[in-house]
Amino acid sequence: MRKSPVDRRSHARFTASFEVEGASQPGGSIARMVASDLSLGGLHCSSAADFPEMTRLAVRLLLPADGASRPVAEPLDLEAVVVRRKKLQSSAGSPRVELALFFTSMSDLQRERLAKFLAHS
């Protein structure tokens, strides 16, 4: 868990590396992203696709298997908005963008699944 004394986030962030898929519109192209940290409030990820701030995304978290309670990877579909973005320097290959996503709506079941995943991370 990473949380500094001056951190104003209401949810603790957990370092986690896993795949994320995002689309800015139903039926739109799917961007593949890699999450670097996650909380009940949102996530931080990098992507080859760039989305402007305040873009609404349909996000699919591909929560990794843990062998015991999750024997296979389980997708979790959520809604999020891009609250921050930063272009990364690329030494080789395609440019990447860091994105901070805030979850905008979550059912009780989705919140419970995410909380359970974070508790075992």
pLDDT at 71: 66
pLDDT at 43: 95
Domains in the chain, CATH or no CATH each: 14-119 (2.40.10.220)
* Contact in structure between 73 and 27 (CB atoms under 8 Å): no
pLDDT at 59: 95
Cα–Cα distance, 19 to 60 (Å, whole number): 9
pLDDT at 10: 61
Cα–Cα distance, 30 to 22 (Å, whole number): 6
pLDDT < 70 positions in the chain:
1-11, 65-71, 91-92, 121
CB burial string 14-37: b at 16+ within 10 A, e below: bebebbbbbbbeeeeeebebebeb
pLDDT at 121: 67
Angle at 87 between CA 121 and CA 48, to 5 degrees: 65
pLDDT in tens, 26-37: 777 899 999 999
CA atoms within 13 A on the CB side of 92: 0
pLDDT at 5: 42
